[in-house]
Amino acid sequence: MNSVLNLPGMTVKSTELLNIKDYLGEKRKLVDELLSRYIPSASEEPRTLHAAMRYSVMAGGKRIRPILALATYEQFRPDSSETDSSIGYIMAGLEMIHTYSLIHDDLPCMDDDDLRRGQPTCHKKFGIATAVLAGDALHDIAFDLMARSGHTEIVRELAQAIGTMGMIGGQIADVEAEGREVSKAEIIKIHSCKTGSLIRCSVRVGAILAGAERSTFESLSQYGEKIGLAFQIIDDILDVEGSQELLGKKVGADNIKGKATYPGVVGLEQAKKDADLLIDEAIELLDDYDDNMLKHIALFIGQRES
C-alpha cells in the first residue's frame, strides 16, 4: 500500500500476496484505521451518538465493500506507483453506508434483531432513537467523504446504488414480500437491489477513481453484479446451515420471519449451484486481465462461512 494513505504497517503490496486471507486481513486493518479516523471520538459531543456510531462500525465485519473498491482501484489505476488519497475517503464511506444499513435493518420495525457482528445490536445497546440517528449520521458522513473524493460521478453512483432503485428499493420489496410466495425472478431482483447494488457500486467507484476504460468498466460492473447477487444467496444459505458463532448473528431467522429467500424459492442445493455459477461467471469476466485480487475475492465470497 502506498504511503499516501498515511497509515502505519501497510507495507505488503497486494501483488506480493499469495494468500487471500492475508490480503483481506491486512486491508481490514486499513479500513479500521480509516473508519476510526473519520468518525468523531466518543468523547466529542454529542457523545452518546458518536459512541453508538463507533460501537456499530468498529465491531468489525468483513469490510468486503471497501476492499473491493481498493482492489479494483489498485488493479486498474494507470500509474501503479501513485495512490490517490481519495480511495481512503471512498473506502470509509462505503463501509459507513453498509453499517448504517445494518443498524436500520436490525431495528424492531425492520428485522428486529438482537445480535449483530457478535454483539447486541445498536438499538439494543443504545435505544431505538439513538440507533436511527446513528445510522442517519453514518450516512451523512459517508456522503461528505464521497464528496471529498472530488468526483461528482462517484457521489451520484453511491446515491443511486443505495436509493429507491437500489438498496432501499430492495429493502421495501423485501419487506413487502414477507409471508408470501415469490418467483425466482422476483427474489433475484430483491437480492440484486438490497445487497447487490452496494457491492456492484463498490467495484464501480474503484473503477471510476482509477479511470478505467469503458469496456473494462462494463466488465467490472457485471462482475460486481454477479458477486453481489451471489453474496446475498450465500447469506441466505448461511442462515439455513451456517454457524451463529462464525456469523455473529442469529441463524434461522429468515424462516421464522417468513422472509423470501433464494433457497426458499429454488431449494438449498440449487441455491448453492447458482451461487457457484455466479462466482465462476464473475471470474470469467476478468479473464482478460492478469491474475488479480478481484478473482480471489470472488472465490472468497463463494466460500465464505461468515
Distance, CA of 101 to CA of 95 (rounded, Å): 10
- In 3D space, the residue among 91, 119, 96, 116 whose CA is nearest the CA of residue 105 turns out to be 116
Residue closer to ligand GRG, measured from CB, 17 or 58: 58
CB of 287 to ligand GRG, least distance (A): 26
CB of 304 to ligand GRG, least distance (A): 8
List interacting residues with ligand GRG (CB under 6 A).
61-62, 64, 98, 101-102, 104-105, 110, 117, 167-168, 171, 194-195, 232, 235
Tell me the HSE value of 61 on the side-chain side, using a 13 A CA sphere: 21
CB of 215 to ligand GRG, least distance (A): 29
Q: Which residue is nearest to ligand GRG (CB)?
A: 61
CB of 164 to ligand GRG, least distance (A): 11
Distance, CA of 155 to CA of 148 (rounded, Å): 9
Distance, CA of 270 to CA of 136 (rounded, Å): 38
Distance, CA of 193 to CA of 201 (rounded, Å): 11
Residue closer to ligand GRG, measured from CB, 62 or 151: 62
Q: With contact defined as beta carbons under 8 Å apart, do 155 and 204 qualify?
A: no
Residue closer to ligand GRG, measured from CB, 33 or 235: 235
CB of 106 to ligand GRG, least distance (A): 8
Residue closer to ligand GRG, measured from CB, 276 or 284: 276
Q: Which residue has the cell 473494462?
A: 216
Q: With contact defined as beta carbons under 8 Å apart, do 84 and 59 qualify?
A: no
Residue closer to ligand GRG, measured from CB, 88 or 242: 242
Residue closer to ligand GRG, measured from CB, 61 or 93: 61
Q: With contact defined as beta carbons under 8 Å apart, do 158 and 201 qualify?
A: yes
CB of 225 to ligand GRG, least distance (A): 15
- DSSP string covering 160-215, please? HHHSTTTHHHHHHHHHHHTTS---HHHHHHHHIIIIIHHHHHHHHHHHHHHT--HH
